[in-house]
Amino acid sequence: MYASCLCGQVKLVIKTAFISSSICHCQQCQKSHGAASAAYGVALKSEVEWLSGKKRVRKFASSERVRRGFCKDCGTNIYFYHKDHPNHLDIPLAILDTKPNLTPQCHIFVDSKVGWDPILDDLPQHAQSC
């Protein structure tokens, strides 16, 4: 699967299928994405290949164990990384240029879901993480 940022300078390929996929409703994803929620695919870090622009990716420590990578020029969120899962890189599905092999399987952190964007699917909902 191919992914890129809004300005097109950061490009990457995820060489193998996502392990899992979820929609996160935590407040940090809300603020970081400027959206009610953010859908991610969990990739093996070793299977993510940077095609261009890796040096344009800045890291933000949104909490002690979390790093969020974003394009320094256009602000697009490129990845979510948690130190508890050092082999994983969570890629926002919305930056993919090709179809994901998986669509989201569940909602997480629905405890902090916004009130103005109801969940209209039948996927399992978890108060915190899965």
Among 1, 14, 29, 110, contact with Zn ion (rule: CB under 5 A): 29
96 in contact with Zn ion (CB under 5 A) = no
Among 67, 73, 106, 119, contact with Zn ion (rule: CB under 5 A): 73
- Radius of gyration of the CA atoms of the chain, in A: 14
24 in contact with Zn ion (CB under 5 A) = yes
Nearer to Zn ion, 29 or 96 (CB): 29
114 in contact with Zn ion (CB under 5 A) = no
For 71, counting Cβ atoms within 10 Å of its Cβ (0-12 exposed, 13-18 middle, 19+ buried), the class is buried
Choose among 14, 21, 6: nearest CA to 77.
Answer: 6
Among 5, 23, 89, 91, contact with Zn ion (rule: CB under 5 A): 5
